[in-house]
Amino acid sequence: MLPCRLDPKVKSFIAAGQALGVWHRQEWASMLPVLALEVKPDETVLDLCASPGSKTLQLLEYQSGASVDGGLLVANELSRSRALVVAQRSRRADRRSLLVSRREETKQMEDKRGRIHRLLSW
């Protein structure tokens, strides 16, 4: 990461917004896999390593235009504490299409049509 010399007021503003859940900072390395998936609003997506939730929030943005019968995002995280982090970070997002789970066996995680369209396993 490049050194950053932001004004202390700007740093404070950014930190306050992140603490409130208004926005979330994300590294490029986390953004690229989600971009590569080319998720559409009506697809079912399984995120196998969902914590800390940056990629999950990005995926929710792609699905925010879906109708009630639209897509589904299953954010799977085995650790209970880490799954709670994902749920808490997504509290201000449109979560109609979000399911946070802690399943070890994921082959049964399918949509009502019996398929997963996209899989994020980073």
Binding residues: 77
* 107 CB burial (10 A radius; 0-12, 13-18, 19+): exposed
Strands of the sheet containing 98-101, edge to edge, are 98-101, 72-76, 44-47, 118-120
Binding residues for S-adenosyl-L-methionine: 77
d(CA 92, CA 4): 28
- Angular region, 38: left φ>0, alpha ψ -120 to 50, beta rest: left
d(CA 27, CA 103): 27
